[in-house]
Amino acid sequence: MAPVADTPYNLSMPRAVKKSATTPERDILKLIPADEHRAQPKSRRIGIHTSTAGGVETSAERAWRLGCNTLQIFSSSPRMWRPFDISAAQCEAMLRLRQQYDLKPLVIHANYLINVAGTDPEMLEKSVNALRAEMERAISIQAEYVVLHPGSFRSCTREQGIANACAAISRASDGLNMEQNGLTLLIENTAGAEFSLGSSFESVAELIAALRAHVPVASCIDTCHTHVKGYDIVSEAGYEETMRNLDATVGLANVRVWHCNDAKAACGSKLDRHDSIGKGTIGAEPFRRLLHDPRHAHAAFILETPVDEPFDDLHNVEALKALAE
């Protein structure tokens, strides 16, 4: 049998053995021909975290072939401090493709190593430099948002952690003219691990309020994180109560991006394990409810679901788009 990358595009084809994320067997650029793509959603901005392998601009091509009209990327390795440069030619190509394919907003997820809430001087310095570099790259490719996990306050009080985060983010953004450049920092809620800043809606709201004096700031809410933290988004009544809570704290208008991830773990488990839409402990119906809620019409809905086998990314995009209809 020919390798998956050389076979005709067919959603019903047998799934192959799991491969590395960088292998052609799972790369949508190899699986779907250049002249073929899925229809983009009409009622909502729906996308997925997309690989930049081969150059940052290739992420736009991948998003287009998947049928997305928004996307999220890493602008550098998410687990390394090593700086990364994006050339002027790549920036120009990215902007051209985004305009051609109507891909907006563009969301950059910040490096996972960044911890702006802690007290260790070396870690804080690395975090400030890494976050500044993320923002600089975001401006260079005209991204609208940078999503940040604020980090851990293990070595201090929560109040000091918030103060540390504000000071570090203020330093990282100094002189970047984020508002004029159309860039907003989004604070993402976390799964509830001990000492994690932003694990409750109240904590996210408190951080946003403290940061408003320094940077344009809003929020990204992750469905998996919300669920495993202990908020009920599964039952209809629980969903409404959770939305009332979110609106009273963060404000639904401030939720610019929803990370749409099902969960492998139970509600309240605090275990951050993403699953494909409809296959986890959240199930499909809560995502339908979320996508049809008019209070979220301004937001982008971006998947961070696992791509273990060929076409997993396409199946999840198609599932979310179907729920939005």
Of 49, 98, 149, 256, catalytic: 149
Cβ–Cβ under 8 Å, residues 145 and 184: yes
- The Cα 298–Cα 256 span in angstroms is 7
Q: Is 112 a catalytic residue?
A: yes
Of 61, 222, 262, 313, catalytic: 222
Q: Is 292 a catalytic residue?
A: no
Q: Is 315 a catalytic residue?
A: no
Of 27, 144, 188, 275, catalytic: 188
Q: Which helix (H) or strand (E) holds 322?
A: helix 312-324
Place of tokens 């008019």: 294
Q: Is 227 a catalytic residue?
A: no
Of 247, 285, 304, 312, catalytic: 304
Dihedral sign from CA coordinates of 228, 77, 203, 177: negative
Of 36, 79, 82, 122, catalytic: 79
Of 134, 144, 262, 272, catalytic: 272
Q: Is 309 a catalytic residue?
A: no
- The Cα 300–Cα 323 span in angstroms is 15
Of 112, 120, 159, 244, catalytic: 112
- The Cα 276–Cα 322 span in angstroms is 14
Q: Is 222 a catalytic residue?
A: yes
- Residue 282's Cβ-count burial label (10 Å; 0-12, 13-18, 19+) is buried
Q: Is 272 a catalytic residue?
A: yes
Q: Is 308 a catalytic residue?
A: no
Of 44, 45, 49, 109, catalytic: 109
Cβ–Cβ under 8 Å, residues 56 and 90: yes
Q: Is 304 a catalytic residue?
A: yes
Of 225, 256, 296, 315, catalytic: 225
- The Cα 118–Cα 295 span in angstroms is 35
Residues belonging to the active site: 79, 109, 112, 149, 188, 222, 225, 259, 272, 274, 304
